[in-house]
Amino acid sequence: MSLFTSSFTDCLKSLIPRFRNESAGYQDDDLPSGTASHGRTHSMHERPRLARRADPVEVAATLPVLDSLSQQLRDTASDLQQSVLEISTGFGGIAARAKESVQLVRCGLESGDGVSADQTISEIHHVIHGLLAAVKDSGQLSSRLSGRIQELEEVLSRVDGSLRQVEKIEEEARIVGHNGRLEAARAGSHGDAFNVVANETKNLGVHASETSASIRKLAGQLDTSLQSVSADLQARVLVDAETARTSSDRVTVLLDQLGRLHNGMTDSLHKTESVSQSLTQEIGRSVMALQFQDRVNQRIDHVIEALQALQENLSPYSRATSPERTEARVGDWRRWLESRSTMKSERELIRFSNTAAPEGGNSDFGSVELF
């Protein structure tokens, strides 16, 4: 761009002093050289100097040069536009990736159906507490059952006392039977009926004794079973209580860990969002800066318009001059401009400004050559 500007400035300076010279009577040697080289090394070609006196050939010869310069401007604007377009596309991509990153972290904190980790942890808490409450209820039920069994054992103990009373009655019945038979024997034939009663009383005592023994045996078995069930239940209650306590402690630790992990991820999400926001702001500033291209292109358009107006104004000179002489001077300008060009695309533009340029005008972009 700066090279182009210097070429353009040189050309204008070449034109403007020419008319000044005519009125002021300056000599060629007094003309400003106008070679703002910006530190670049140029070839030995010298800028074509204007003739001592006003010469239409000189003016006509600058017309193709102005045309070249206009085309240079158009190409520059086009290159600039293309570059800014690519940078802008890059920024668009960066912004989209930043947005996706935040979305990915956010998805990491949510299940597929949109349930957040917060909700899941809270749900686990709820379920675990329900489970522990059920275990506790089960333990309490076992305790109550154990209490009932103890009550049954007490009932069995009272049954045992009642059996002892029955056995005492049996004993008395046997004694009554025995005494009855003795009294029946002493009474002789008058005591036969009394003897029958005595025998029946004795038999009743024997039957009662057998029944009592059977009941005691069954009560003993029942007592043994109840004691076993009670012992099992109490052991179960102790194990359940211990399991519930350790499970509760472990689940609490795990849920705390899960909570900390979740907090860490939430924190990361907030940081990612913050970074993304900063990135968006920086991209915004860059996008704002990139719009210099729009302003530059507008100015270039205005300069091209002015150059075209100059060309139109100067075009009568080309009709009033000898084509051969004009072409020779155009050649001088072209050689000079070409010698100042540093890029292949510039040189091709100058060389082929009035014919079609070969394909791949910017083919030297990004090329590498090792020596």
Partner 1 sequence: MAKMALVVDDSTSMRQMVAFTLQSAGFEVIEGSDGKDALGKVNGKAVNLVVTDLNMPVMDGITLIRELRKLPNFKFTPILMLTTESQDSKKQEGKTAGATGWLVKPFNPEQLLGVIAKVVH
- Compare residues 292 and 365 and give the one whose CB is closer to partner 1: 292
| Closest separation in Å from C-beta 266 to partner 1 | 24
List the structure tokens of 185: 């024997």
Q: Which residues pair with 116 in a beta bridge?
A: 110
CA distance 12 to 6: 10
| Closest separation in Å from C-beta 61 to partner 1 | 32
| Closest separation in Å from C-beta 93 to partner 1 | 9
- Compare residues 11 and 77 and give the one whose CB is closer to partner 1: 77
State the residues that interact with partner 1 by CB under 8 A.
Answer: 81, 84-85, 88-89, 91-92, 95-96, 99, 280-281, 283-285, 287-295, 297-298
Cβ contact 305:123 at 8 Å: no
- Compare residues 245 and 302 and give the one whose CB is closer to partner 1: 302
Backbone φ and ψ for 110, nearest 5 degrees, come out as: -130, 150
| Closest separation in Å from C-beta 101 to partner 1 | 14
> Which of these, 335, 340, 251, 274, lies nearest to 61 by C-alpha position?
335
The residue length of the chain stands at 371
| Closest separation in Å from C-beta 83 to partner 1 | 9
Q: Is 292 helix (H, G, I), strand (E, B) or coil?
A: helix
Q: Is 354 helix (H, G, I), strand (E, B) or coil?
A: coil
- Compare residues 95 and 265 and give the one whose CB is closer to partner 1: 95
| Closest separation in Å from C-beta 301 to partner 1 | 9
- Compare residues 89 and 162 and give the one whose CB is closer to partner 1: 89
Q: How many C-beta neighbours within 10 Å does residue 49 have?
A: 14
- Compare residues 92 and 147 and give the one whose CB is closer to partner 1: 92
Where helices occur in the chain by DSSP H, the ranges are 2-24, 56-108, 117-187, 192-290, 292-319, 323-340, 344-351
| Closest separation in Å from C-beta 264 to partner 1 | 29
Output the CA–CA distances (angstroms, integers) from residue 304 to 15, 24, 69, 307, in the order listed. Answer: 17, 30, 9, 5
- Compare residues 119 and 277 and give the one whose CB is closer to partner 1: 277
- DSSP state at residue 116: B
